Amino acid sequence: MTVSAQPAVTHDAPPSVAVADTHASTEAAHGEGGGGLPQFEFQHWFGQIVWLIFLFALLYWLMAKVFVPRLRGVIDQRAATISDAVSAARQVQAEAAGQAEAAKAEVEAARASSRSMAAAAKARVTEQANARAAEEEAVVNARIAEAETAIGKTRDAAMTNVGSIASDTAAAIVERLTGKAPSAAEASAAVKGAA
C-alpha cells in the first residue's frame, strides 16, 4: 500500500474545497476503489471480538450485580406491599363483617326486647283497663242496686199510699154516686177485694 503525499490544506481555502481535499486524501490512503468497512476486514476482528467479550462481560456483571438485584428488590417490595395491603383489607373486611353480624344481632335483640316490652305494656294496660272497667262496673252496679233499692222503697211507699188513695178515691166515688159516704173499713175492703 503506497501512501501518496497529501496536499496541504490551507486555512484560507473555502470550506467546500477543504472537505473535498480531505475526502480525496482519505480515498488515496485506502487505495482507489479498494475501500470498505473496517469491521469486515480480517485484521480488525480480534480486537473487535475482545471488545465484544469485554463489553458483554461488563454488561452481564452490571445486570447481575446492580440492575437485576435492584429491580428484584423493587418487585419484591412491591409484591410485599400489595400482599400486606390485601391481607390488611381482608382483615378489615373480616372485622367489618363481624361488626355487621354483631350489629345485626344487637338489632334483633333490641327488636325482641321491644316486642316483649310492647307485649308486657299491652298486657299491663289491658289489665289496668280491665281492672278499671271492673271497678267502674262495680260502682255502677252498686249505684244501680242503690237506685233499685230506692225505687223499691219509693214504690212500696207509693203502693202503701196508693191503697189509701184508692180507698179514699173509692169512698169519694161511692159518695158521689150514692150520696152516702161509706166507712173507711168498707172502702179499704172493697179496694183490697178488687186488687
The predicted-structure confidence for 105-151, as pLDDT tens digits, reads as follows 999 999 999 999 999 999 999 999 999 999 999 999 999 999 899 88
Q: Which pLDDT belongs to residue 25?
A: 55
Residue 165: closest CA among 193, 188, 146, 142: 188
> Is pLDDT at 181 greater than 80 in this prediction?
no
Residue 71: closest CA among 59, 62, 82, 83: 62
Three cell numbers, residue 148: 233499685
Between 6-10, 87-91, 128-132, the lowest mean confidence (pLDDT) is in 6-10
CA 26 to chain centre: 86
Sign of the Cα pseudo-torsion (102, 106, 108, 112, in order): positive
CA distance linking residue 191 with residue 195, whole number of Å: 6
CA distance linking residue 91 with residue 87, whole number of Å: 6
CB under 8 Å to 180, separation ≥6 — which residues? 174
| Cβ-based neighbour number of residue 28 at 10 Å | 15
> Is pLDDT at 85 greater than 70 in this prediction?
yes
